[in-house]
Amino acid sequence: MKKVLFIIFCINFMNVCAFGNGIDISKSADGNKNQPEIQDILVDTKLDKNLKIKPYIYEEISDQFAEKNKKKNIISKTQVDYKEFYPQNVNTIVPREFFNIDYEEMQPIQISIKDYFSTRKKVQEGEYIDFITTNNVKINNQIYPKGTKVNGRIETISPNDFMGIPADIVISNFTIDNIKILGEINKTGANRTLWVYPLSSGTMGFFGIGILFVFIKGGHAKIKSSDIYTFYVQK
C-alpha cells in the first residue's frame, strides 16, 4: 500500500513540474519577454490617484493611573522556615498484610447461578445477580435447603472491544440471608487478540485489507447454570 501511494505522489509531482503555472512566456522580436500584465480593475476605478500614505509615527502610551499607584499594594515576601524529616530506616522492607482464614472454623458452600448470564446483557457495576445453593447448608444452627437464594454483586465489568479484546466481569460480596460468604467469581471471554493483532498487521500492506480485522471483537464473559462454585461461610 505504501508503494502505491508513493507512485501516485510521484506522478502528481511530475505533472506539476511539467505543466507549470499555465502562463505562456514568449519572446518578442527584440528578444524581450512578453509577460501578461496584471491589472486590478477595482483599484484602477475606485482608488484616488492623488492618495498618499502618511508615514507612521510611534506614540508612546502611558497609563497615568498605573503610574500613580505602582508603589501601592506591594506584596511583601515573607521568609518561611521549615524542616524536612526523612525516614530513618529506608532499607526496611514493609511486609504486606495478609488476612489468614482459618478453614477449620469455616464450612464450604456450593452455589450456582440461577439463570444463564452473559456480559451481552446490559448490566452495570453494583447490580446484583441471583445464585442458588446446590445442596442443603447449615449455618448458625439454621438449615438452608437446596435452591436457597444467594445474592452476588457485580464489582467490576469490562465490555468486549475491537481488536479481539474480551469482556471481563468480577462478582463478589455474596450473601445468604444477610450472612456474608467468602468467595469471588472472575470470568473472561474468548481472547482473540492473539491472532487478530498479527493478522491485522501482516495484511495491512495488501491494499489495506488488515483494516477489516480491526473490527473483530473479543468474546463475552459467560456463566452457565451448570457451573458450580465452592465458597466458604462461618459455621
Per-residue pLDDT of the chain (235 residues; tens, 9 = 90+): 556 566 666 666 555 554 444 444 444 444 555 556 677 777 777 777 777 778 888 887 878 877 777 776 666 666 777 677 666 665 666 565 555 666 677 889 999 999 999 999 988 999 999 999 999 998 888 999 999 999 999 999 999 999 999 999 999 999 998 899 999 999 999 999 989 988 888 888 888 888 888 899 999 999 999 999 999 988 7
Which residue has cell 467469581?
Answer: 185
Show the cell assigned to 172: 463478589
Tell me the backbone φ, ψ of residue 202, rounded to 5 degrees.
-75, -30
Strand 106-113 versus strand 33-34 pairing type: unpaired
Distance of CA 72 to the CA centre of its chain: 51
Which residue has cell 509531482?
Answer: 13
DSSP bridge pairs for 233: 107
DSSP characters over the chain: -HHHHHHHHHHHHHHHHHHTTS---EE-TTS-EEPPPP--HHHHHHS-TT--PPPP-------HHHHHHTTSSPPPP----------S-TTPPPPPP-----GGGEEEEEEEESS-EETTS---TT-EEEEEESS-EEETTEEE-TT-EEEEEEEEEE--BTTTBPPEEEEEEEEETTEEEB--EEEE----HHHHHHHHHHTTTTTTGGGGGGG---PPPEE-TT-EEEEEEE-
Show the cell assigned to 49: 490617484
Residue 116 · residue 223 · CB < 8 Å: yes
- Rounded Cα–Cα distance for residues 191 and 168 (Å): 10
